[in-house]
Amino acid sequence: MNDHHRELATILWPDPDKQPTKVVRCRHCATRNRVDIPTAVFDPDSCRCGSCSGKLFIGPDEPLTDIASSAYEHSLDRKYLQALKAVPGFPQATRWFVANLPERLFHMQALSATIRCDDTQFPELTALMDKARQRLDIPYRPALYLDESPYMNAMTLGAENPLISVYSALLDQMDDEELVAIMAHELGHLHADHVIYKLMANLLLVLGRMSSNIINLLSFPIQLALLKWSRCAELTADRAGLLGCRDLGVALNVQLKFAGGARPGILRRGKLSIGPFIQQARELERKEMSSWLDNSLALFITMDRTHPFSVWRVMHLLQWVENGNYLDIMSGEYARVKRGAPEGEAQAVEVEA
């Protein structure tokens, strides 16, 4: 464990007498081993099976072979998407939209207004996407485009031939490993079949707001449901981001920069620190868990957003690492799919990072 990871582990789990632990199964001999979560997260290579001495966790560039998106799907994502699918007419509308998707429009727009990155044009950026793609064992290679923008963002487009568009501001403020996490986040949306539902959500919300007050009022509950699911889908994609970058510190730094930025004016006046940001997330968790009023306020301030706030995303990512199946996946124990078998009802259209 290097000094940076040791410091971060101390920030996350400061009490040396109360280090969280987890039991994982050895991928070589199936023996169950209890490991310290800080060591498993930040120095996985040192974790060995007590029976066969084999490494308990996969290597930093070893692919998660045939991983199913359900392996890292957030329970809230699953819950609210199932609720949407139960809305009369929504599954039929989605199938119609997929069948009539004007995919060429997206590709023509990207070709016309942005820079296509490949092995001859900006191969450095393509290599970062490939690193995330190979770690998540994504068999297809989406086209990659660089889009000039002062805002930090990325999005996915396309169904049969998906593409990822990266905004140039990300390159100014994110380092390479953070960009890998962002690429993996976008690939997670594609892998989990989020993007077609995201576009449906945005379309219905726009149509609802353009309609008369009465129609808008009647459609308000479904708008709230769509937004709620959209925010929860980001939690699944954040997990894909962590699985792609394989470094919790990197994944947390991405959210830190989305929350406050890392522009020159900010860096001249001080240094963004991950420690206080994590303390924010812990405080937010305590408030939401201990007070129905704070929990209600948290729901209220996000109800019209397609994306959750960064601190909330950090809170859920830490919960997954501490209490979820992140380490199980990294030990090779996860749901798998057969190549060529569809995981969901539809693929891809558009979703922001």
Cβ-based neighbours of 343, under 8 Å, separated by 6 or more: 68, 69, 70, 191, 192, 193, 337
Distances (CA, A) of 287 to 274, 280, 284, 294, 309: 20, 10, 5, 6, 15
Kindly state the average pLDDT of the residues 323-346. Answer: 78
Report the amino acid identity of residue 67: I
Q: Range with the lowest mean pLDDT among 26-40, 163-177, 200-214? A: 200-214
- Tracing tokens 């590709």 back to the chain, one arrives at 107
Mean pLDDT (the chain, rounded)? 85
> pTM to 2 decimals?
0.87
Cβ-based neighbours of 116, under 8 Å, separated by 6 or more: 110, 143, 144, 145
Q: Which tens digit of pLDDT belongs to each residue from 251-278?
A: 999 999 998 877 777 777 777 788 888 8
Q: Are the C-beta atoms of 353 and 147 separated by less than 8 Å? A: no
